[in-house]
Amino acid sequence: MLNTFIFVVLPYVALALLIFVTPYRYLTNRLTWSAYSTQFLERKALFWGINPWHYGIIPILAAHVVGVVAPGTVKGFLANQDTLIILESLGLGLGLFALFGCLVLLPRRVNSPLLKRVTFASDYILLILLTLQTATGIYIATFMRWGSQWYLHTAVPYLWSLAAMSPRVDYMADFPMVLKLHAAGAFLIVALLPFTKLVHLLFLPIGFIKEPPILYRWRAKHMP
Ligand code: HEM
């Protein structure tokens, strides 16, 4: 029951929301189609949060994707023990770097009265979810060795079975709960993407330049 919910219901609901809500938001609420900046309210903690987060998580997500699209090539790479250890260590370092970023960004919003005023429930939910997602990933990488290898023989065929509309839950059913939570977290993040500022992920960096500017209106007493 739980397995069916996590590995069948959640991913398809997430995909449906992504496909239908994203264009709706793009067409009806264009000015919110971005990670609106809080840089002019607070920039010191932002620097120490946003940089580790992005430099850590982007290569990790890219590695997740490369495993899915080119499992054979990755398998060849990881067959060499030295390469396996180097890549896993690199992944762990990047994961910890990303987690550090989350742990700066979350209190940044909680502790600043000025930022609190421009922080929505969706911002908190997203930040907490990303922190948990990163933490469960680090746990898996540390205590369920060697994830980069068994991922190719379990999660990857499962994800392909999802894409083929014929989900093979058996690939994932016997994993410990922490991996199920990690997968559920990933689907939840995809489901929330069109409702939160994570929607900016759909832009290539160049897209930001072409986008219309975001309009801020502040009353004088709110100005920093
Ligand atoms: C929003 C999507 C996701 C995010 C942000 C994410 C994030 C992470 C992070 C930060 C790590 C730690 C990397 C390290 O320290 O080496 C990790 C590891 C891992 N993730 Fe994910 N993940 C996502 C989706 C998924 C999905 C859908 C699966 C499979 C169903 C998955 C399976 C794994 C596995 C097996 C590891 C361990 C890799 C290793 O041991 O090197 N992840 N993830």
pLDDT tens sequence across 115-172 = 888 888 999 999 999 999 999 999 999 999 999 999 999 999 999 999 999 999 999 9
Q: Is the CB of 38 under 6 A from ligand 1?
A: no
48 Cβ neighbours under 8 A, 6+ residues apart: 101, 104
Distance in angstroms (rounded) separating the CA atoms of residues 223 and 38: 12
Residue with the smallest CA separation from ligand 1 atom 19 is 137
- HSE of 209, CA atoms in CB hemisphere, 13 A: 3
Q: Is the CB of 98 under 6 A from ligand 1?
A: yes
Amino acid at 15: L
Contact in structure between 98 and 59 (CB atoms under 8 Å): no
Q: Which DSSP string do the residues of 187-200 spell out, in sequence order? A: HHHHHHGGGSGGGG
Best of 100, 171, 182, 188 for a ligand 1 pocket test (most atoms within 8 Å of beta carbon): 182
Distance in angstroms (rounded) separating the CA atoms of residues 39 and 222: 15
Nearest alpha carbon to residue 138 among 106, 97, 171, 104: 97
The confidence score (pLDDT) of residue 213 equals: 59
pLDDT of 224 strictly over 50: no
C-alpha distances in Å from residue 155, one per residue of 1, 135, 167, 183, 215: 19, 18, 11, 9, 42
**CATH number of 57's domain:** 1.20.950.20
Domain membership of residue 50 as a residue range: 2-222
> What average pLDDT does the segment 97-113 reach?
93
Q: Is the CB of 141 under 6 A from ligand 1?
A: yes
Q: How buried is residue 28: exposed, middle or buried, by Cβ count under 10 Å (0-12/13-18/19+)? A: exposed
Give the whole-number percent of the chain exceeding pLDDT 70: 87
Between 209 and 86, the more confident residue is: 86
Distance in angstroms (rounded) separating the CA atoms of residues 3 and 111: 38
Amino acid at 174: D
Amino acid at 19: I
Total count of domains within the chain: 1
Best of 58, 151, 159 for a ligand 1 pocket test (most atoms within 8 Å of beta carbon): 151
Give me Rg for the CA atoms of the chain.
19
Task: Identify the residue whose tokens are 């502790």.
Answer: 111
Determine the distance from the C-alpha atom of residue 60 to the mean position of all C-alpha atoms in its chain, rounded to a whole number: 10
DSSP3 helix / strand / coil % (the chain, rounded to 5): 80, 0, 20
C-alpha distances in Å from residue 45, one per residue of 26, 108, 156, 160, 182: 30, 7, 37, 40, 27
Distance in angstroms (rounded) separating the CA atoms of residues 144 and 216: 47
The confidence score (pLDDT) of residue 184 equals: 98
Span from the CA of 137 to the centroid of ligand 1 (angstroms):
5
Give tens-digit pLDDT for 150-163.
999 999 999 999 99
